Amino acid sequence: MPHNVGMRIGLLTSGGDAPGLNAVIRGAVFSGIQVYGQEFVGFRNGWRGVIEGDIIPLGRNEIKGINKQGGTILGTSRTNPFEGRGGVERVNEVMKEHGIDAIIAIGGEGTLAAAKRLTDAGVKIVGVPKTVDNDLSATDYSFGFDTAVQIATDAMDRLRTTGDAHDRCMVAEVMGRHVGWIALHSGMAAGAHVILIPERKTSIEQICEWVTAAHDRGRAPLVVVAEGFSLDTMDDAHSERGLDAFGRPRLGGIGELIAPEIEARTGIETRATTLGHIQRGGTPSGFDRVLATRLGMAAIRTVIGERWGTMVALRGTDIVEVPFEQALGTLKTVPHERYEEARVLFG
């Protein structure tokens, strides 16, 4: 038996939530207790809980049935562990005080970058990738993405029936800060006539050409736009809501911006709907529950193997391990060919 059986592990969820976070927690805690006799605690609200020593017990009782629940029972925040009174010393102090041997950090790019800095300084951390946008390059899919796509697809099916009834063009804005995966997949699933993604600037003339072509065929045009999309006349993605806790512009509103332009140029009555955080809410899909549970269980095996500074990830149908440095730095954008493939169906 490995010598670190019976160790005490702290779990945290950090950054924007994604459906499946609770399933990761359950997968890790369940297998850790059951197979390795480990003990668990949860840090509340991401790295903030680490810095503040805000800790809750995490036993079999706390994880009962939570794989079906959206959100995260631990709470989350976009706190950076190196800011304020944080830093390596504080993290070590809190871990020592609570007898915590290692941390499993479930989070996106920002969370894993902080985890890497801490691991480089000797803190024992294993990562689990989390991004509803599906933009982490080291994993084929991240949990929460499938659920978000399904929610967006259902919403678009509904937009299409009301669009048809009024003979309107419907613009649906979905999440996707730097990448257009949610837009591409939900747009394709819903049979959208135009899909606009951050990776590909497009002119309003081209958009209107597709809208008009669809309308001329007797269809009520559906335009899907990712929040991070820019028209070819814009330097940056549209933002009118200030900055988030990481100092990044809060996106949203590009749909409302292009809808009147489409209406003015095509003469087709146009309405915009922003799906926003609905895409991150509610119960995870079956796919996401399974993926999240497997990632949680795999993280425990990585802890047992003492492979600190490693993230678990999905490659094909296998769960693999990837060093933090390989997981960070490059975003998984929609490849040119994938967009071209979808583009054939526009208009």
Residue numbers annotated as active site: 133
Determine the residue with CB nearest ligand F6P. Answer: 175
30 bridge partner residues? none
Judged by CB under 6 A, how many residues of this single chain contact ligand F6P?
10
Spatial distance between the Cα atoms of 132 and 76, rounded to a whole number of angstroms = 14
Note whether 179 binds ligand F6P by CB under 6 A: no
Taking the C-alpha atoms of residue 112 and residue 106, their distance in angstroms, rounded to an integer, is 8
- Enumerate residues 6+ apart whose C-beta is below 8 A from 233: 203, 204
Based on CB atoms, which residue is closest to ligand F6P, 78 or 200?
78
Candidates 174-182, 192-200, 308-316, 322-330: pick the segment binding ligand F6P (CB under 6 A): 174-182
Is residue 325 at the binding interface for ligand F6P, with CB under 6 A as the rule?
no
Of 59-67, 117-125, 169-177, 201-209, which part binds ligand F6P (CB under 6 A)?
Answer: 169-177
Give me 64's structure tokens. 């009962």
Q: Which of 73, 91, 133, 259 binds ligand F6P (CB under 6 A)?
A: 133
Q: Which amino acid is at 307?
A: R
Residues sharing a CB contact under 8 Å with residue 75, sequence separation 6 or more, in sequence order:
13, 44, 45, 46, 49
Q: Which residue number, 16 or 27, has a Cβ lying nearer to ligand F6P?
A: 16
Binding-residue pattern over the window 195 to 234 for ligand F6P, x denoting contact by CB under 6 A: --------------------------------x-------
The reply on whether position 50 binds ligand F6P by CB under 6 A is: no
* Nearer to ligand F6P (CB atom), residue 32 or residue 180: 180
Tell which one of 106, 222, 251, 304 touches ligand F6P (CB under 6 A). 251
For ligand F6P, which stretch binds (CB under 6 A), given 86-94, 160-168, 172-180, 295-303?
172-180
Stretch that binds ligand F6P, among 170-178, 255-263, 284-292, 310-318 (CB under 6 A): 170-178
Total residues belonging to the chain: 347
Amino acid at 237: A
Q: Which stretch binds ligand F6P (CB under 6 A): 171-179, 217-225, 255-263, 300-308?
A: 171-179
Whichever of 16 and 296 has its CB closer to ligand F6P, that residue is: 16
The C-alpha atoms of residue 347 and residue 298 are separated, in whole angstroms, by 44
Strand partners, 226: 174
Handedness of CA 153, 249, 239, 228 (dihedral sign): negative
313 binding ligand F6P? (CB under 6 A): no
* C-alpha span between 59 and 151 (Å, rounded): 32
**Separation between Cα atoms, residue 273 and residue 186, nearest integer Å:** 15
Cβ–Cβ < 8 Å for 58, 40:
yes
Q: How many CB atoms lie within 10 A of CB 122?
A: 10
CB-nearer residue toward ligand F6P: 241 or 336: 241
Beta-carbon-side half-sphere exposure of residue 220 (alpha carbons within 13 Å): 20
* 175 contacts ligand F6P (rule: CB under 6 A): yes
Site string for ligand F6P, 265-294 (x = CB under 6 A): ---------------x--------------
Is there binding between residue 16 and ligand F6P (CB under 6 A)?
Answer: yes
Strands of 124-193, DSSP E: 125-129, 169-174
The least CB distance from residue 220 to ligand F6P, in Å, is: 27
Q: Identify which of residues 19 and 296 has a Cβ nearer to ligand F6P in the complex.
A: 19
Count the Cβ atoms, other than its own, within 10 Å of residue 329.
11
Tell the smallest beta-carbon distance from residue 143 to ligand F6P (Å).
13
Q: Torsions phi, psi of 89, nearest 5?
A: -60, -45
Q: Residues 9, 132, 224, 322: which binds ligand F6P (CB under 6 A)?
A: 132
Nearest Cα to 271, choosing from 160, 108, 176?
160
Q: Which residues in this chain contact ligand F6P in the complex, by CB under 6 A?
A: 16, 132-133, 175-177, 227, 244, 251, 280
